[in-house]
Structure 1
């Protein structure tokens, strides 16, 4: 079923080692934080000045266009931020829905529409307060990078800076001894610590800023998509329920019709024959024996019809031995040669096996009755998404899933199981019936 989330993943090539991917992510997160800090300072200064200027001048109507310009500018910065946080999360962040003026609206109404759009106000709110997480993240990232680079390269620059008198350097104050070697070793150890914790600190700093941005810039849109997805799932469930009720009703009507036209008529005739034989025993025993023999024939034919009807409901071989054995038995009874390709050896869910069997049984019945085909090919394959059932013949074609045709009930049966049924049946070109069932 359609999914509301169609995000594109920024997937790293599989040939890259975990170390390379880690270093790449550190670079992405670092540039995100370092660039985000000046943008945050810019937006808080710009939006605060424009917003309060617009609010203060609303009384003379000058503030209205200023507020509109502020909101439109906030949209632009929000679009830029959504593009920036995509690599941090490893997926493309979708563009949210913005309220639009109705078709034919006046220019004034189109201009003022952003004032009534909630997402636009959230964009401006993000621009005004993003400097808070940006400042925290920027401070942490700069500190950790400076500590890592400075500590690991201390031997390269220590000589170039003045040192305090004895017992005034940090290692000496900590009681770690004196001398250049001790100082270099201490600062190098600090560099190792900062380098070892660089990834989690930089990653956490970037996520702090990115989650703040996503909550304001896409939170409402994500909630709206979740509601739409839930509504779509509910509609699908309702359609499946309706299809299941329709399929059950159709199956019951067919069973009632078949029993009325077949076994019931034979049983009525059997009762009449036995009554006639009872009367003939006294006057014409030979005729009575002939009538009883005919009644026995009617009994056998009735039993055969009842067995055929039971196969359409739940054949014992399907329950006991599985789909492959049931389809093999079904193909052997077909009046048209069947090429069966069903290597599904493992047992599936009972509902799936029953639906697949019903699809093949109904299709073979229609082929025998209406297609004038010389051969039919049945294929049942298991793939990653479910079970694929295909029945193809070389008959006259012309089959349809439209209401009123024989396959409409079969379509309801498949949809009730959560599957999809497709028919390709050009006139004179044979028929291919394909059912995809979820497993």
Structure 2
């Protein structure tokens, strides 16, 4: 019988599980998603006439945007606020900054569907912009929340002005100002050519602009919850000045290097929930080899099948004994899926080739070590609606509550199965 694996990447796998369980929900609850606001933007019906431009955020308030809803950071992203701007100091590609369209419901972008997301900023363009979809209930206390995002690479949509006007040199390199530490705070280091810093004020760097068609975000735009900035490919800072929806883009001309909107790149399907009714699936990442046998015993005694995501480097390391463990798991009917070659932060890798290599080398390793052929076409809280959960077996605490969690899921009326089964993959084995 041919074995299948799930191909996974930060865009697909990390988000695949991150927002589908209660721990992920708790992560976002720390970000004031549910705070009520005095202002409220009404969603227009789908057949309404196109709306005028919509100003989302001009950063006039440190905690609220122009719509009256929350804006702020996650994953310990350092920020510095000044009226009219929010400077972000990323140190990790998983860090993010959100500005909300709504608090407790869904916001419809349909009236603006033919318009453009316009962002004014200063600093690096090595980041992604996402439009984030709410869950089906438009209710923040149901998982997953936030729901499905679709992301674009900011640099592809940047309107590059003539030489010297965007902070780029002749080779296209940015002249971002270096950041230095002073008294525990991030400061911008200014070089004024050797003069007295108190006597000279450097000219403000020119703003850069993004123009992104809303149609390039392939989500359900009847239930949008926020626009966000993440996937920072560099530690250089970015200062946001304006986020809005506009009806047109500047015409191509010499001054903007004949700017035109690029084509939308292919977008993979992002899976956050099982589709089979009353199903529940565990995705178990690599862990500590010394806990592997305990995990196997619990799964055997509870008579459940799960999906393991294996890192290629761990399989090649003969001291871990993980290859023998996963071979045994395959014999018992569990699924083994792809979790990259060395488990880097994919969005921090500098080139597409390096990202591809992480997948290709892992595919080869799973074939050589486990005899698994890749099928490239198969790509919470229970009470709150989550039915996909991720875990690691890295410490005794995690392994210790696995049995209790399994029994809680069963007691809630769900049947635990592999991910391909919960997604109703026609090539998955039948349920026992």
**Shorter chain as normaliser: what TM range?**
under 0.3
Tell me the TM-score normalised to structure 2 length.
0.19
Q: Which one has a larger percent strand, Structure 1 or Structure 2? A: 2
Tell me the TM-score normalised to structure 1 length.
0.18
Q: Which has the higher contact order (CA 8 A, sep 6+)?
A: 2
